[in-house]
Amino acid sequence: MKNRKLSLRIRIFLAMILLTLLAFILIAVVTIYQYKEQADDYHIKRLGRKETAIKETINFELLRRTSFPLETRYLPVIFREKIHEIKAVHKLDLDIYDLSGKLLISSYKGFKKDTTNQQISKRLLKELASKLKHRVVLTDEEKNENIQSSYSYIKDNKFKNIGILRLTYVQDNSEQKKELNEFLSRLSLVYIFIFIIAIALAYLLSTYITRTIKTVSEKMKQTRLNKRNEKIHLNNASAEISLLINSYNDMIDELEDSAVKLAQSEREQAWREMAKQVAHEIKNPLTPMRLTVQSFERKFDAQDPAIKEKVKEYSKTLIQQIDTMSSIASAFSDFAKMPTQKKETVNVVEVVKLSIDLFSEDYISFYASEENIELQLDKNQLIRVINNLVKNAKQAVASNEKPKIEVSIILEKNTVSIKVADNGKGISDAVKDRVFEPKFTTKSSGMGLGLPMVKNIIETYGGNISFTSTEDVGTVFTVKIPK
């Protein structure tokens, strides 16, 4: 069962509903993004404030209270007790490293020693040294928590770097998440109410818009090319619908004239196509006829004792081709018969050999698996098939220094196979699918009707034609006809 397309009414209805849902989704996404941005900005600023306060405490300890020299090696001694006091006041873990990134002292008091922060990486040290303010903030995600780490230098009273301070700040977004969930809950209630209203409005609006279009559609369904059609008249139609109706009424006025012109154009096109095909078919027997006459003229010898037999053979060949042309002319007079099939018992080997003899080229060879292979078909059509295939093969090997064409007939179990092989330029992969299309050709001359005609003839007898081809190697056309 074919799927029915959605009507305009349903499309308008669904569009309005989807627009409402899309608005809700966009607002929710923007809100979530905004809350996240605000939370991140809040925590970054909070970390900055805590860092400033902690560094003031450290500087006060270094410059006012300690009696130890302000050197890196004394930092663990100076802050041995103070580091835990700072952690308790500011509720932040802090570590102090030497300038090479080795951990000197940490505020961590866990039972298990933390070995993950014993050494600052060289990349981070390089980044810290290159920063204009000598401060780096990194963000990590561990166990669904955002952890920010701030790295900055500890300086002595001469502003010389004597150590690196690392602060670890764990973001607590529980309050922000609670506010966000409350806002989204209230927003959902509002949008449920809006959604119900949108459904009602969408239904009423889509019904109103499509009512007049449905009337126009019903009228258009009754329009026929071969009868007199009524015009559409609607009152109180919108400007757009009125424009559509006026265009339809104008089309009705021109439809009758167009129908006459169309019928005439189709007849002319049919005659043109038939004329092209007939011209192509007439060329096929003319070529071997010309070759036969030229061969006769070149080889004629009045003193030859077998001259009468040769003349008889040449005459027989010409008469066969003339009969083929006569058959085409008769079919053309009947307009659609191209040409009428006259099935008879035919020795395929004899007919194919006779067709090949029309070509004087010595590089054309013939082979048959048996001397007598009979089929019920039209002799003239078989000749046309062979002529077309051999002629195409000749054109394919024209540029080959050592041309070769092999025609063979093989009787299989219930099939007769006729093969025409050449060592020509071959057929490119790009056009292989179009070889049997009418009017398609890769030659500078010709109308591309030969192979389609051959295909139609073979398929009429329940057979098929196929080919294999390799560029610059050759092509093999295979015709299979069931016995």
Q: Residue 442 sits in a domain of what CATH number?
A: 3.30.565.10
At 57, is the secondary structure helix, strand, or coil?
helix
In a domain, 28, yes or no: yes
How far is the C-alpha of 252 from the C-alpha of 372, rounded, in Å?
66
How far is the C-alpha of 111 from the C-alpha of 482, rounded, in Å?
91
In a domain, 204, yes or no: no
How far is the C-alpha of 371 from the C-alpha of 350, rounded, in Å?
8
Q: What angle do CA 133, 131, 141 make, to 5 degrees?
A: 100
How far is the C-alpha of 51 from the C-alpha of 249, rounded, in Å?
81
In a domain, 186, yes or no: no
pLDDT for 15: 82
Amino acid identity at 140: D
Residue ranges of E strands in 389-472: 405-411, 415-422, 464-470
Q: What is the pLDDT along the chain (483 residues), one digit of tens a residue?
A: 445 567 667 777 788 888 888 888 888 888 888 888 887 788 788 888 888 888 888 888 888 777 888 888 888 888 888 888 888 888 888 888 988 888 888 887 765 555 557 888 888 888 888 876 677 777 776 656 678 888 888 888 888 888 888 888 887 777 777 888 888 888 888 888 888 888 888 888 777 767 777 777 777 776 666 566 667 776 666 666 777 777 777 777 777 677 667 767 766 665 676 667 667 667 777 777 777 777 777 777 777 777 778 778 878 877 877 877 776 665 555 434 445 567 888 899 999 998 888 888 889 999 998 889 898 888 888 888 999 899 989 988 988 888 999 999 999 888 999 999 999 988 888 888 888 876 566 665 444 567 888 888 888 888 999 999 998 889 999 999 998
In a domain, 275, yes or no: no
Number of domains in the chain: 2
In a domain, 400, yes or no: yes
Residue 374: C-alpha distances to residues 384, 411, 462 (Å): 18, 10, 16
pLDDT for 35: 82
Question: Taking Cα atoms as reference points, which of 163, 157, 166 lies closest to residue 65?
Answer: 157
**Residue 460: CB partners within 8 Å, gap ≥ 6?**
341
Q: Which of 177, 192, 212 is the last residue of a domain?
A: 177
In a domain, 435, yes or no: yes
Give the position of tokens 């109706």: 245
Q: Which of 146, 161, 177 is the last residue of a domain?
A: 177
Q: Which of 145, 177, 209 is the last residue of a domain?
A: 177
Question: Taking Cα atoms as reference points, which of 146, 147, 153 lies closest to residue 124?
Answer: 153
Residue 121: C-alpha distances to residues 75, 99, 114, 394 (Å): 20, 12, 16, 77
Question: Taking Cα atoms as reference points, which of 296, 330, 329 lies closest to residue 311?
Answer: 296
pLDDT for 404: 93
Question: Taking Cα atoms as reference points, which of 45, 35, 32 lies closest to residue 169?
Answer: 45
Question: Computed over its alpha carbons, how large is the radius of gyration of the chain?
Answer: 47
How far is the C-alpha of 193 from the C-alpha of 78, rounded, in Å?
65
By residue range, what is the domain housing residue 130? 8-107+120-177
Residue 481: C-alpha distances to residues 160, 371, 373 (Å): 99, 17, 12
How far is the C-alpha of 284 from the C-alpha of 270, rounded, in Å?
22
In a domain, 74, yes or no: yes
In a domain, 236, yes or no: no
pLDDT for 403: 92
pLDDT for 188: 84
At 157, is the secondary structure helix, strand, or coil?
coil
pLDDT for 336: 45
Q: What angle do CA 425, 428, 434 make, to 5 degrees?
A: 120
Note the Cα 367 to chain centre separation in Å.
47
pLDDT for 423: 92
- CATH code for the domain of 173: 3.30.450.20
pLDDT for 143: 57
pLDDT for 475: 93
